[in-house]
Structure 1
Amino acid sequence: MNASHRGRWLALLCLLPFALFFILFQIAPLAWVALNSLNTPDGWGLGNFSKVFSSRFYLQAIKHSLQIAFWSSLIGIVIAVIGAYSLRQVDSKLRDFVMAFSNMTSNFAGVPLAFAFIILLGFNGTLTILLKQAGVIEDFNLYSKTGLIVLYTYFQIPLGVLLLYPAFDALREDWRESAALLGASPWQFWRHIGLPVLTPALLGTFVILLANALGAYATVYALTTGNFNVLTIRIAAMVAGDISLDPNLASALSMVLVGLMVVITLVHQWLLKRSYHVAR
């Protein structure tokens, strides 16, 4: 056996633990959920999915999940783009501090985040009272869909900054200078050069933020104690059996969540191919 073959077998051997881990903790659970989603009291079939899509309650959960994920991701990525670009223009010490802070806040979620927002923006929260006294707002309900979008946006922004910051390395300063010498305005530079170069990173980050929001559970549960109707709350409720125990229906809802992510990913890939053709 020559050196190249030995190197190939060694690489495959090193890959084996990862492959086993991936199969045991990714593929096997997904296959188990998919199998159980087809298990109904009347036998195997699509009865659970029929129940999901014929119920206004579950359709509302899907709608709320998509709305919160979309708007929090959209607002988050807009602010993250501005933040990541601004970090390129500031002192390195301030940049390092903001990146470290973003890294910390991107993991600040769940019960601590919900508690912090209740203190700040609850019905009697500090900021809520101050904004009401200043006449900026008349009423704000943190426990509504709007409140959840604000809450989700908070942990979307630092994640977006961390993901988009390296993407700006692709923008070379001499491109901007060349465009300016040729008479291009800043808007024309971003329209014809900057945004097309950043498009793959923007689309990829947006998909990650959508997945991050669609799969969030601890934060919304801690804030609303499970009373707001989103997919993750419904899945957990049917598995825990607080009101009704139906793990097979929970599996069907989980597959709906997986299906949403598959559709989003396929659209992302289609937009990427389209952006590459436009760039050419």
Structure 2
Amino acid sequence: MKGLFQGKGWAVLCLLPFALFFIVFQIAPLLWVAVHSVQVDDGWSLSNFTRAFGSKFYRQAMQFSLEISVWSSLLGLLIAVVGSISLSKVDSRLRNFVNAFANMTSNFAGVPLAFAFIILLGFNGAITLVLKQSGLVDGFNLYSKGGLILVYTYFQIPLGVLLLYPALDALREDWRESAALLGASTWRYWWHIGLPVLTPALLGTFVILLANALGAYATVYALTTGNFNVLPIRIAAMVAGDISLDPNMASALAIILVGMMTLVTVVHQWMLRRSYHVAR
């Protein structure tokens, strides 16, 4: 008993609550969804996946989910990179204020965010009316795919800043000074030194932003009242039974969503290993 509270025994004991929580709330629901995705009325079959990939409607939902997630993640990552680099060069008070603001706004999503965008950029939103009267905007539709990319990008930026800003500590100031002394321009410094060092952080942040966008439900539902065709909306509609109750098909679509994220994660790990070997 004494040995249990020493060394690895104590570490395993401390890990048990987390392991139990992970199994109950992560592994078990995923297994439940996977089992129900291959269930049909008369037994077991892959017909749910066949229906999903054979239907133009469901393929459109997959396409829209991927397009919105990828574009919003790329745009959010780009803006977050520029913002993080800028933050590292400003006064500490302003930096702390922006970091605190980013921490707060990273949780500003869902219904409040959708309501704010409707007020500002809806068909009769305050900013939309001003831009229309100025002749700068004609026919902007917040409730389209482009509008959703804009909304998703907004809540991706604070999360990207929070994830990328600490990674800039890996860049040492003497590297930049040494590159400048050797005649390297700012562009060459970032291309040959800055970006390779930050590549793991950039790839990891992109994957997290992509997962954040793929699983977003409340924002797109509140913004479009469930009329835009993305996978989270389709899954929720089949589980809630607003139009048709089909939990097994919903499980199949959920597994497809998990598969998309798994594929991105596998590519991410492959690119990380490749960049590591190139760096060596």
Contact (CA 8 Å) 2:226, 2:233: kept in 1 or not? yes
SS of structure 2 residue aligned to 1:226: coil
1:239 aligns with 2:239: yes
Letter in 2 for 1:20: L
* Partner Cα distance (1:100, 1:50) in 2: 47
* Partner Cα distance (1:14, 1:271) in 2: 34
Q: Once the 2 structures are TM-superposed, how far is the Cα of residue 15 of structure 1 from its aligned partner?
A: 0.8
* Partner Cα distance (2:46, 2:3) in 1: 53
CA distances 1:162-189 after superposition (whole Å, capped 9, x unpaired): 0000000000000000000011111110
Correspondence list, 1:31-70, <5 A: 31-70=31-70
* Partner Cα distance (1:21, 1:211) in 2: 21
Letter in 1 for 2:82: I
SS of structure 2 residue aligned to 1:273: helix
Q: Once the 2 structures are TM-superposed, how far is the Cα of residue 6 of structure 1 from its aligned partner?
A: 2.5
Letter in 1 for 2:91: D
User: Partner residue of 2:9?
Assistant: 9
* Partner Cα distance (2:265, 2:147) in 1: 27
Correspondence list, 1:47-196, <5 A: 47-196=47-196
User: Partner residue of 1:200?
Assistant: 200
**Where does the alignment leave 5 or more consecutive residues of structure 1 unmatched?**
none
* Partner Cα distance (2:203, 2:242) in 1: 39
Letter in 1 for 2:259: G
* Partner Cα distance (2:226, 2:73) in 1: 22
Letter in 1 for 2:224: T
Contact (CA 8 Å) 2:72, 2:149: kept in 1 or not? yes
* Partner Cα distance (1:268, 1:20) in 2: 28
Q: Once the 2 structures are TM-superposed, how far is the Cα of residue 131 of structure 1 from its aligned partner?
A: 1.3
User: Partner residue of 2:265?
Assistant: 265
User: Partner residue of 2:224?
Assistant: 224
* Partner Cα distance (1:5, 1:83) in 2: 46
Letter in 1 for 2:253: L
Q: Once the 2 structures are TM-superposed, how far is the Cα of residue 5 of structure 1 from its aligned partner?
A: 7.7
What is the aligned-residue RMSD (CA, Å)? 1.2
Letter in 1 for 2:239: V
Letter in 1 for 2:56: R
Aligned length: 280
TM-score by length of 2: 0.98
The ranges of structure 1 where at least 4 consecutive aligned residues each deviate by more than 6 angstroms after the TM superposition are 1-5
User: Partner residue of 2:254?
Assistant: 254
SS of structure 1 residue aligned to 2:6: helix
* Partner Cα distance (2:4, 2:252) in 1: 47
Q: Once the 2 structures are TM-superposed, how far is the Cα of residue 68 of structure 1 from its aligned partner?
A: 0.2
SS of structure 2 residue aligned to 1:138: coil
Q: Once the 2 structures are TM-superposed, how far is the Cα of residue 16 of structure 1 from its aligned partner?
A: 0.8
Range that drifts further, 39-48 or 253-262: 39-48
Q: Once the 2 structures are TM-superposed, how far is the Cα of residue 42 of structure 1 from its aligned partner?
A: 2.9
* Partner Cα distance (1:185, 1:221) in 2: 47
**Where does the alignment leave 5 or more consecutive residues of structure 2 unmatched?**
none
* Partner Cα distance (1:71, 1:142) in 2: 16
